[in-house]
Each structure stands twice: as structure tokens, then as C-alpha cells.
Amino acid sequence: MIEDNDIILKQAARVLTPFILIYGIYITFHGHLTPGGGFSGGTVIASSLILNRISSGNRGSGPEIDRMMGIASIALVCYGLIKAMGTFFPDFTHRVLPRGIPGDLLSGGAILPLNIAVGFVVACVMYIFFCLIGEEA
């Protein structure tokens, strides 16, 4: 972790973290239009969370792991429900989630909610792995 006298590193991390987070959200939301998607965006979002954790010097991770595990579980259930609705009720995705104009943000039907769910799962699980590895060290 960063020591107390590393003011430059803390300030740089404080400035960069929101931009990295926004870029990860952008990658997640535009995954059906550009290279990227839920997994890629989730890893970028996780890197911003990990950078924030390293720069703050926070070592306590019990409640954080539980919270992230809950978010990942809810996102995984949402992913499964969206996939099940598309599998068992094919018209569901066309009626509830319109395809829109090609090239538009809402043009992917069920792909956007699936990318968001995958992004949450990947970001939370990567952050949990980092926290658990940090506890071992």
C-alpha cells in the first residue's frame, strides 16, 4: 500500500480514478457497437476500484467483500433471468427491449442489459480477488 508521505501518488490516483471508471462504463455500454462489452468494461471498472483501494491505503476488506459478493450475485441472477426470458420467451426481447436504430446505443435489444450484468459481475469478482490476495500477503 502507499505510505502517508506519497502525496503525489495519492493525488494522481484521486484524479485518474473517476476517468478510468467512466471509461469502463463507456466500454460496457457500447460493447455491442464497438470492441468491448461486459467483460472488458468490467475489468477496467475493477482496475479503477483497485487503484482507489491501493491509493487510500485501506486494508480492511470484510464488509467490502460481502458487499461486492452481494452485487455480483444480484447481477448474475439478473443475467440468468434475461437469458432465460430470451430463451423461453423469444418475443420478450422484441417487445420489452426494442432494437432501435442500428448504430444507436439502444439498438442491441437484450445485449445492453447483458453487458451491464456481466460488467458488474466481472468488476466485483476481480475486486474480491484483489482483496483476498491482499489479505494473504
User: At 111, is the pLDDT very low, low, confident or very high (cuts 50, 70, 90)?
Assistant: confident
Tell whether 2 is covered by a domain: no
Tell whether 94 is covered by a domain: yes
* Highest mean pLDDT out of 34-38, 110-114, 115-119: 115-119
Tell whether 68 is covered by a domain: yes
Over residues 55-68, the mean pLDDT reads 79
| Domain encompassing residue 80 | 7-136
Sign of CA dihedral 23, 86, 107, 98: negative
- For residues 115 and 34, is the Cβ–Cβ distance under 8 A? no
**For residue 137, is pLDDT > 70?**
no
Q: What is the pTM of this model?
A: 0.84
Tell whether 24 is covered by a domain: yes
